[in-house]
Structure 1
């Protein structure tokens, strides 16, 4: 099965947050949504596919010297460049969608030689490329009449990634990683930060909507304050009716090193052993450049899994993470569908873990993340927090997909039938 890219386009929409999403680098109140469309042919079959992501400059490009407007304009410009040059960047020849996506990943990871405008950093470039990768897979699945995560039953060469899997190859290891029968139920996660009114937050998401899982945005620089905040969230969640809360902890890369994480965990266990036990994993404590911020994570990983998020920008990070003692990787569809499949397969082969986050992505992008979680075993199911921050962006999918995008019992539910492609047909 070989897919030929014929043409591509991209459009943009502005989305406002109903409440700010607080990161260590600032607060997100408004964001651009990029929607890529790609037309492919598979033999005599043709289809248009769609992929969507938020262009989150504060997450992918945290440069305090540039304004949001400046970075947003550069991200839009790079997306437009990708639409124009997609065939070239994917090799100008037909290939398996995984190969096309990994060619695109490698092309944007390096500096594109013919791009002369302001170039975003690698993570931001991968984010811009991700809706095109998703659209390729969506279109391929639609052309074939199959779910895009069920096209790995025949081994094909993937020259861009086969060397990561000596003796077997990427297609075989991705196939071995994917569940033969997808799951359809996932715990729902809400996000809490120290600036939030925890009583109001827990009343809405725990008491009224049945959530029991919380992702905590912590300072990363004050272990005692972060431990105290973790206990407060845990106790407030339990007080609102959650019998066994789960917690993940994210400082977005501002923690100085493993010793500070160990101090946080020690403080947390001293304050409340139940809250300590509720911590499922710790996400990207230190800076995203693994070469510049090189630590050994064995002592932390022996207590709680510690996962790379922003540091996962290319295949070189896989082996580096293993060598430095990280427990695994935080997958995000905004890093590229193909790269996430390769990462999940490599992690399984290396005995490492994966989780699945989102980028507060709504609608089709949330569907994409849920479909990935249906097939890829993860620690946390999938984190889908657009209901908390950009619910209006989900409206065109309601009420049909209310069980997925507006859960009322603490669980996201996919429909019984898997869609062809990556879900755009559900919008038709």
Structure 2
């Protein structure tokens, strides 16, 4: 029987918000200096005629989600934004009542067809990748979950049980999940505080000597300054993947500077993650990298918590990229590769031992990925898409509600802090950082846990 708590979508609407970067961000051989936020509002209605509105926001992220030799970045951005609009039009015509997981799960299966419409309309030489489809529609997904929670006066993470959902997880994840619901794989209250992973991009200055011209906008500009200002203990290092000596020296240089600053602060423990953004040719590169780091600084090697997406995201096309040997040394996690359950299973076969969750892949899909990954005892982390404002808070709620995730990446404050300003007044503990942590316990309100009031 359908739940009395079910809702239908009354109306979804999309808008766009340009966001300038204060400093360029380089990763995977590409440089980003601006983006647009996709902002979505969804109105829902229950069987009794009660209504509520929810909101979602996410950067377009086309440079990360759709790197292509055939479609330039401007075309990809426009296509992804148009897909967000088309999906909103489509979902407005869906008459069904249901839980957000159920409603979105059916719509997700329409993404490919809607993306094909975009491809024809824009005359694109290739189809939109599944990852780009997920990113473009993630604000809609978040807005629906937000609206549902607000209508019921509950945090959305506390509407994931049999009391609210019509179907158990076996429908989505297979028979191993019979009689289980997402409340089994999420927390009823958010973690109170979580360490913040600070990004060190390939262009980012480490010390004063690396700066040619200062921005002078009042924010830190070097790694030294960021560590002192925010009390950082977790650093995510973007690496080249095609220049072993540069990658090794970059980590060692970061470690030298960090060690000096931490000694001043009397901090004895800190951590790194290393992100190659798919640029390594093979696992041997990763093994050589780890070996050289350990040889030259065992302390720096010990501080590396995990390796992120070292080789090509297309696992089917590159089955030779097996990670078993590297994963015996450090956890190796997929990021760009994770787009569905099949990719998660294939990654495990290829030796990956962890997953990086991202809010930009959609609230529904990410919650299902989390359940599958927890069942498999994989290493878990939550990564960022340079998310400012509401999109960062969304990402933080995921990290705070998924068991086993120990830290949250958040680099919008470094590169595009403008949209943070109104949210910082409401959630200062999420944006005014002094001890290297964010106050995720404050994200405990109705809906997705945060609101502009």
TM above 0.5: yes
| Structure 1 stretch displaced more, 314-323 or 113-122 | 113-122
| Aligned twin of 2:237 | 216
Query: In structure 2, the residue corresponding to 1:172 is in which secondary structure?
Result: coil
1:157 to partner: Cα distance: 4.1
| Residue pair 1:33, 1:53 contacting (<8 A) in 2 also | yes
- Between the aligned partners of 2:110 and 2:169, the Cα distance in structure 1 is 11
| Aligned twin of 1:10 | 14
Could you tell me which runs of 5 or more consecutive residues in structure 1 were left unpaired when the two chains were aligned: none
1:162 and 2:187 are equivalent in the alignment: no
| Aligned twin of 2:149 | 141
- Tell me the TM-score normalised to structure 2 length: 0.89
1:288 to partner: Cα distance: 0.8
1:209 to partner: Cα distance: 1.6
1:299 to 321, 325, 339: 325
| Aligned twin of 1:19 | 23
1:227 to partner: Cα distance: 1.8
1:123 to 131, 153, 168: 131
- Between the aligned partners of 2:136 and 2:247, the Cα distance in structure 1 is 33
1:329 and 2:350 are equivalent in the alignment: no
| Aligned twin of 2:250 | 229
| Aligned twin of 1:79 | 84
1:112 to partner: Cα distance: 5.1
| Aligned-CA RMSD value | 2.0
- Between the aligned partners of 2:335 and 2:69, the Cα distance in structure 1 is 20
The CA deviation string for residues 300-358 of structure 1, in whole angstroms up to 9 with x for no partner, is 11110111101111221121112111112110000011111101100111121221011
1:274 to partner: Cα distance: 0.9
1:67 to 54, 63, 72: 72
| Residue pair 1:284, 1:310 contacting (<8 A) in 2 also | yes
- Between the aligned partners of 1:181 and 1:327, the Cα distance in structure 2 is 27
Query: In structure 2, the residue corresponding to 1:198 is in which secondary structure?
Result: coil
Could you tell me which runs of 5 or more consecutive residues in structure 2 were left unpaired when the two chains were aligned: 209-221
Poorly superposed stretches of 4+, deviation over 3 Å: 64-67, 109-116, 155-161
- Between the aligned partners of 1:347 and 1:382, the Cα distance in structure 2 is 17
The CA deviation string for residues 82-110 of structure 1, in whole angstroms up to 9 with x for no partner, is 1111245xx64112211222223332156
| Aligned twin of 2:397 | 371
Q: 1:125 to 1:25 in 2, by over 3 A?
A: farther
Q: How does 1:310-389 map to 2 (within 5 A)?
A: 310-389=336-415
1:375 to partner: Cα distance: 1.0
- Between the aligned partners of 1:110 and 1:140, the Cα distance in structure 2 is 26
1:252 to 277, 299, 312: 277
